Amino acid sequence: MTKRKNLPEQELERWLAGSATPAETPAFALALDAAYAVSPQAATWRRAQQRLQDRLIAGAPRVYYDRVKSSVVGPLWVAVTDHGLAAVTYGGRETEFAGWVGRRLRATPVRSAERTAAVRRELDEYLRGQRTAFSVPVDLRHVTSFQRSVLEAARSVPRGQVATYGDIGRWIGKPRAARAVGQALGSNPVPIVVPCHRVLASDGSLGGYSGRGGLSTKRRLLALEGAALP
Amino acid sequence: MGSADQIEAWADKYGKEIHAYLWRILGDAQDADDGLQETFLRVLRHRRAAPILEPRAWLYAIAGNVARSQLRRRRTEGERRALPDIDVIAPDGVAERDRVDAVRRVVESLPSKQRQALVLRRYQGLTYDEVARVLGGSAQTARANVYQAVLKLKKAFPEEAR
């Protein structure tokens, strides 16, 4: 094979058009074809197609939201889909929350006291100190698989106890990912219910909290739960 | 908002190639599946002032945006994934897999327009005119984007590696 400084344009165009033979295909193009000139398996497509058809028949999905009052952390907005609780947000205006949750979940936001009743009741009980664990299902379809595994791990920390970012990393098999764990928890779509406030820095300090009030909210939630604070 | 019937007709006609496009760019069956749903949801939610004259190019453009945000999200989370379902049949299986992984990394690091132009032209079989209708700009721009991508890939995979 002689070394070529410039790939002749004609040859390149032949490859781009799919009419070059392997012998006249340059190394980079062979490597590229190995990665991209493959098609999804028929079963992969059929699965996607079925899901799409079901969804098109059902039309655009909806997300139901409402407000929860709380003296401990201030008002909250909650949003529920057919799959469970999808968002908890500290305060803010209704229009902002509805717009944000609709965009995030790709659904039409509808205010509904009825659809959110179970979530609001559990949150209310929890914030009054009358509930130790949540039983409502949580909808984590809209986070990445990494974030989902972090949030699931955080969920396993019971009320009154704490873990560190490093602990979570170890539990999900990524012991060096403490920083990524912190980021994943920082964008927890369902704070309080997925108790990211129970996860602290490995040096024993509180770490961070992105909810309104920041660390003072984190401290208040931990105090409510009777956890030993650093 | 277009009629549901029309959107279903588009899904029948173009769904398969849009799915293949997402699958190629994302390299993951689940992400491609989600991307396809997301693409058509955006179509459903889209409020149109004027009728869509070129649904195929429009769908490709939406799918491209969906894929770009997916890739960006992966990058910000530093999440590197293997290629679970792209099976490469080669005598030296492992080395081939590493090479495929390396190629994907280079392609994923390209500017979005270059990556899309390359995949649309070479693997989705679109002409430069069609690529231009998806990405905006002229056929000339589309071609320039493909060539830019090719130049970077040539640099990353020199001839003697053959």
Q: What is the pLDDT of residues A129-166, one digit of tens each?
A: 888 899 999 999 889 889 999 999 999 999 988 999 98
Q: Domains in chain B, start-ordered, CATH in brackets?
A: 1-81 (1.10.1740.10), 83-162 (1.10.10.10)
Task: Out of A171-180, B82-91, B107-116, pick the least confident.
Answer: B82-91
> CA B115 → CA A27, B22, B35, B41, B71, distances in Å?
18, 12, 17, 24, 12
Q: What is the pLDDT, as a whole number, of residue A230?
A: 60
Query: B162 pLDDT exceeds 70?
Result: no
- What is the DSSP track for A173-203? T-TT-HHHHHHHHHT-SSTTTS-GGGEE-TT
3-state secondary structure A21-62: CHHHCCHHHHHHHHHHCCCCCHHHHHHHHHHHHHHHHHCCCE
Sign (positive/negative) of CA torsion B16, B20, B22, B26?
positive
Indicate the helix (H) or strand (E) that contains B50: none
Q: A180 to chain B: nearest residue by CA?
A: B77
Q: What percentage of chain B carries pLDDT values higher than 90?
A: 57
Strands (E) across chain B are located at: none
The 10s digit of each residue's pLDDT in B21-50 is 999 999 989 999 999 999 998 888 776 667
Q: Decide if A24 touches B, using CB distance below 8 A.
A: no
- Residue B92 pLDDT: 53
Place of tokens 């195929």: B56
Query: What is d(CA A149, CA A181) in angstroms, rounded to the nearest whole number?
Result: 10
Q: Can you say whether residue A210 is alpha, beta or left, with left for phi > 0 and alpha for psi between -120 and 50 degrees?
A: alpha
Q: Is B80 exposed, middle or buried (CB count within 10 Å of its CB: 0-12, 13-18, 19+)?
A: exposed
Mean pLDDT over B47-62 rounds to 86
What is the mean predicted confidence (pLDDT) over A97-107? 87
- Give the pair of three-digit tokens for residue B146: 């493909």
With tokens 């060096």, the residue in question is A176
- Please check whether residue A1 touches B, CB under 8 A: yes
Query: What ipTM did this prediction achieve?
Result: 0.83
Give the tokens for residue B129: 């005119």
Domain boundaries A62-127, CATH class: alpha beta
Least confident among A100-104, A209-213, B107-111:
A209-213
Does the pLDDT value for residue B160 go beyond 80? no
Identified catalytic residue from A88, A143, A163, A196: A196
In whole angstroms, what is the distance from residue A143 CA to residue A189 CA? 8
Q: Which of A31, A52, A184 lies at the smallest CB-CB distance from B157?
A: A31
pLDDT tens-place string over residues A185-227: 888 999 999 999 888 888 878 777 777 778 888 888 888 888 7
Report domain extents, chain A: 7-58, 62-127, 145-224
Q: Chain A 71-100, CB below 8 Å of chain B: which residues? A: none
**Single-letter code of the amino acid located at A198:** R
Rounded CA-CA distance A82/A76 in Å is 20
- Residue A6, pLDDT > 70, answer no
Find the mean pLDDT for residues A76-97: 92
Q: Are A108 and A63 in contact (CB under 8 A)?
A: yes
- Token pair for residue B84? 């679970």
Residue A88: HSE in the Cβ half-sphere, 13 Å Cα cutoff: 29
Task: Give the model's confidence band at B89: pLDDT under 50 very low, under 70 low, under 90 confident, else very high.
Answer: very low
On whether the CB atoms of residues B4 and A59 are closer than 8 A, the answer is yes
Q: Which of B123, B127, B128, B152 to mutate to test the interface with A (most CBs of A within 10 A)?
A: B123
- The pLDDT, as a whole number, for residue A108 is 81
CB A180 to CB B23 under 8 A?
A: no
CB contact under 8 A, B38 and A106: yes
Could you tell me the fold of the domain covering A145-224?
A: Arc Repressor Mutant, subunit A (1.10.10)
Mean pLDDT of A106-119: 90
A169 and A177 in contact (C-beta within 8 Å)? yes
Report chain A residues whose CB lies below 8 A from the CB of B9. none
Let me know the angle formed at the C-alpha of B108 by B102 and B110, rounded to the nearest 5 degrees: 110
pLDDT of residue B78: 61
Cβ within 8 Å, pair A40-B19: yes
Average pLDDT over every residue of B81-97: 53
What rounded mean pLDDT belongs to chain A? 87
Helix (H) or strand (E) holding A74: none
Q: Look up tokens 């640099």; give the residue.
A: B155
| Contact assessment for residue A102 and residue A63, using Cβ atoms and an 8 Å cutoff | yes
Q: Does B97 touch chain A (CB under 8 A)?
A: no
Per-residue pLDDT, A73: 85
Mean pLDDT of A63-91: 91
Interface size A-B, in CB pairs within 8 Å, comes to 138
Distance CA A120, CA A124 (A): 6
Query: Are residues B26 and B32 in contact, defined by beta-carbon separation less than 8 angstroms?
Result: yes
Look up residue B4 and give its two tokens. 């549901």
Distances (CA, A) of B127 to B90, B133, B134, B139: 30, 10, 11, 9
Contact A45 B16 (CB under 8 A): yes
B123 at interface of A, judged by CB pairs closer than 8 A: yes
Distance between B64 CA and the closest CA of chain A, angstroms: 16
Do B33 and A4 make contact, defined as CB atoms within 8 angstroms? no
Examine the residue annotation and report whether A17 is marked as an active-site residue of this protein. no
